Structure 1
Amino acid sequence: MTLAPAQRTAPAAAWTDARLLLALEEVVEGELNRHLKVAKEWMPHEYVPWSQGRDFDGVMGGEAWELGQSKVTPLGRVSLVVNLLTEDNLPSYHHEIATMFGRDGAWGTWVHRWTAEEGRHGIAIRDYLLATRAVDPVALERARMEHMGAGFESDNAHSMLHSVAYVAFQELATRISHRNTGHFSGDPLCEQLLAKIANDENLHMVFYRNLLKAALEIAPDLAMQAVRDVVTQFRMPGHGMPGFERSAAQIAIGGIYNLRIHHDDVLMPVLRHLRVLELTGLGPAGLQAQQELGLYMDGLNTQATRFEERQAALLARRAAAAERKAG
């Protein structure tokens, strides 16, 4: 997209959300058309081992769930539940982006397309978990009710640029989480399913990342401030689910998602691709935001290194304890 001179030179104060939505409409249309060309149809039911399924206890009088009925690893089970409960809040996410981006034109078409693609993720994961008896179905349903009952409200509802910046990073974070969960699940079929979901999330990330790039071109100071705010205040969308802190700690120690991964595999790839820390021509507010972002990333890298040291020490103690027990 070639931006008109008036778009490139408009002062930050002139950029209302409504004007930004209009200015970026052409970019959204182009990204939507690109997405539709590269996105490949896939069927969730093809990745569920239905032949492993059987009746549970209750109305059907089947077999009660027990922990040893699935080959999914304990770490994989924890992460699968977190990922599924995150996907379950799709109605709230749809409400957030539909309210912010609207339901008309290219923006609206994208909102509905994104929602449809995200919807199959929860369907596929839940069907897999129940067919393979990987989780307690009663505990899962109660957690779903509690999590969805609380709803979801974005931490980054300051402006539409905050929303765009957040999803540019969050979609990549979700992709990494799904991919690594599959790797640690202990089940090749689960890994294959989550790879399909991760591919969807990657395409969503590319859409929002390219949109953020255009925003940095037309409103660099505002976009830079939004990126700084999102990066320094980032939380995963499932942070409000029951038991999230404990699950997140297990996921971090297990190597599915932690500070090092967040820094190296989520934040830095997007920042590098957009050259956010090298962007020139910023005004005072944008320059300050850029400097604060750079300082934050340096500090986060230091925190990630400290986490790695603690993680290595903990895993070494666990391995030693397991060896003593086995001996």
Structure 2
Amino acid sequence: MTVAPSRLHGQAAWSDSQLLYALEEVVEAELNRHLGVAKDWMPHEYVPWSDARDFDGIMDGEAWAPDQSKVTAVGRTALVVNLLTEDNLPSYHHEIATLFGRDGAWGTWVHRWTAEEGRHGIVMRDYLLASRAVDPVELENFRMRHMSEGFESDNRHSMLHSIAYVAFQELATRISHRNTGHHSGDPVCDRMLARIATDENLHMVFYRNLLAKAFELAPDQTMSAVRDVVVDFRMPGHGIPGFERAAAQMAIGGIYNLRIHHDDVLQPVLRYLKVLDIGGLGPEGLRAQEELGLFMGGLDDQAVKFDERRAALLARRQARAERG
């Protein structure tokens, strides 16, 4: 039996269950495409095991010290944030499994995505400990605090909000990993994060293509969901202890900031889907589209001001360094 949307204020209104059913074929096609292009890789091959040695404690090894790390200061900060974000995978799995279900193509994707994300956390933790890139005690204390609080998404638990959020979030994660590698100062770290970023890009494509189909089925509802997600967007690691300070360091260090968020995360997805050019919308969709356009313009203005402040700060730092 075909599941058709109900009518609301003259517009087709889809429930979550109707959309899940209607998108099943697209999920199956995207899953098959993903499995066809994704390449399995072994986490242990990206870890410099020859650098590893015992830590202090019951193994009576050497205590960690900052000068043991090959990674830059901003690289260490970003690596901890990125890994702690991955550590909350059980909560993320619960969120998407609850929304998308565990049966059929949806369920197969949920489990495959979880397995791939789990691999990211494995290789990052092994790298950090084997290379002594970060303080292992501080990292574990942060992990316990962060995971003890769990994770609850900001996407209002609508299926459309969830799809829209992960389409942007997966790209944001890819950009953050890639830039962390570039600024890490360690070629081994850069290679590892490039491998992870490749996976994250494939995840983004999966959700972006689902979002494209959602725009065909329920343009007004999807436009409203995209508007809500873009305006209120926060990275899933925002609950990490000391996140605000870490985010500021990453912003100044060029790993993730307003300019990157606008130019490299939001704009590519919106442009690919032609979100601001979609026609035939009802009143709610048009209002959401207009508000989205205004927000993006305002965000670009904020990014310009941030760029100016960042350039001035870096210039002052350079001047102090030259004076010795």
TM-score by length of 2: 0.97
Contact 1:221 1:286 in 2 (8 A): yes
Q: CA deviation at 1:70?
A: 1.5
Q: Separation in 2 of the partners of 1:296 and 1:257? A: 19
1:77 matched residue in structure 2: 76
Q: Separation in 2 of the partners of 1:153 and 1:229? A: 16
State the Cα deviation string for residues 42-89 of structure 1 (Å, max 9, x = none): 111000000100000000000010110011110100000000000000
User: Structure 1: where are the runs of 5+ without partners?
Assistant: none
2:282 matched residue in structure 1: 283
Contact 1:12 1:219 in 2 (8 A): no
Contact 1:12 1:222 in 2 (8 A): no
Query: Aligned in 2, Cα 1:94/1:12: closer, same or farther, shift over 3 Å?
Result: farther
Structure 2 counterparts to residues 39-58 of structure 1, below 5 A:
39-58=38-57
What one-letter code is carried by the residue in structure 2 that aligns with 1:282? Answer: L
2:189 matched residue in structure 1: 190
Structure 2 counterparts to residues 59-78 of structure 1, below 5 A:
59-78=58-77
State the Cα deviation string for residues 166-217 of structure 1 (Å, max 9, x = none): 0000000000000000000000010000000000000000000000000000
User: Structure 2: where are the runs of 5+ without partners?
Assistant: none
Q: Separation in 1 of the partners of 2:231 and 2:11? A: 22
State the Cα deviation string for residues 5-30 of structure 1 (Å, max 9, x = none): 967x9965531000000000000000
Q: Separation in 2 of the partners of 1:12 and 1:152? A: 34
What one-letter code is carried by the residue in structure 2 that aligns with 1:162? Answer: H
What one-letter code is carried by the residue in structure 1 that aligns with 2:253? Answer: G
TM-score by length of 1: 0.96
Structure 2 counterparts to residues 1-327 of structure 1, below 5 A:
12=11, 14-325=13-324
Contact 2:3 2:22 in 1 (8 A): no
Q: Separation in 1 of the partners of 2:262 and 2:135? A: 33
**Over aligned residues, Cα RMSD in angstroms?**
1.6
Q: Separation in 1 of the partners of 2:257 and 2:135? A: 26
SS in 2 for 1:56: coil
Q: Separation in 2 of the partners of 1:304 and 1:273? A: 21
Q: Separation in 2 of the partners of 1:72 and 1:257? A: 17
Contact 2:120 2:196 in 1 (8 A): yes
What is the percentage of aligned positions where both structures have the same residue?
76
Q: Separation in 1 of the partners of 2:272 and 2:3? A: 24
